[in-house]
Structure 1
Amino acid sequence: SDALSLAEGLKGMGADSVTGALVPGYVTQSDGQDVYAVSNSSWSEMMDRVDSGQEPAEQTREATTDPGSFTITLKNGGGITGAAASMESTLTSKGFKVSETGNTDTSVYSETLVIYNSSDAQPAAQTVLNAMGVGRLVQNTGAYSFGTDVLVILGKDWKPSS
């Protein structure tokens, strides 16, 4: 009866008044199975936009830059064996300059992060994110120390490309 009531309420609504959005999150493992985990901070931001009458996500084209014009530090933070080396190979084959690879001190990152220090480096970070196809941009507020233009920390959501 609830479904019928909902359908009755939607009667006459045109397709132009319906908006869709993907639930922001990432794939992780639980009991050996891939599961989709909602990114709480991104969900809150999206719902704040909806509650204020805006679209769920901004439809802006992010600025990007030449992959060979900046340097990247690449760290494995998800504990996936060979992740940093595999991503280094992928990125260098696309023209990126990876200056340093390694592991983070702990493997606690569930989400891949693409970190940049200043707004001047944001287009470079966006270019890396676009090439990787996974992750979230983060502007560094002093929590991370790196000597390149962009720091990538691979999380448990990262999967090797085929």
Structure 2
Amino acid sequence: MLRRLLAALAAVPLLALVPAAPAAAHGGPVALEVAGDGATGVTVRATYEQDGHPVEDRVLRLVLTASAEGGRQVGPVQLDPSNEGQGFYTSGAVLTPGRWTVVVTAPDPNGARVETTVEAKVAQTAPPPVDATAESDGEGGGTWRWWVAGAALLVAVVLGLALATRRRTSVS
């Protein structure tokens, strides 16, 4: 029993000498997922069809074209890699509000083409910043109320000490 255990322990370091199988390399056909960005732009997610991993080892030269009612046309526009993560591309604000048929293509050797419908909307703006001084002076309260309360407490303590001292001197 002890010999088997020692033999197994001696074999473990030898396993490190066995060559590892090569990792599956990314490559092959690319899948493109196209969607609106919630405003007037388009986002694209590029992954390998084989394993679903994001395209990360090279920058694809994705090209966007779009058409809408009334003969409106956009493109060709080359999409830029986005800072949102590997395999993400963005167009920026290239569409006007409305329904668009968007086509995104990738060149060979991993050519791909996707056509989808995107609803472009007017970009929403953030609400204006709240002025901190106006908020603290308003009816909702603010720091000035703490100063008044602290001053009142200080006056009460001073008066209390003065009365206590006066009583002691009059009793003595």
Q: TM-score, normalised on structure 2? A: 0.21
Query: Larger RCO: Structure 1 or Structure 2 (Cα < 8 Å, ≥ 6 residues apart)?
Result: 1
More strand by percentage: 2
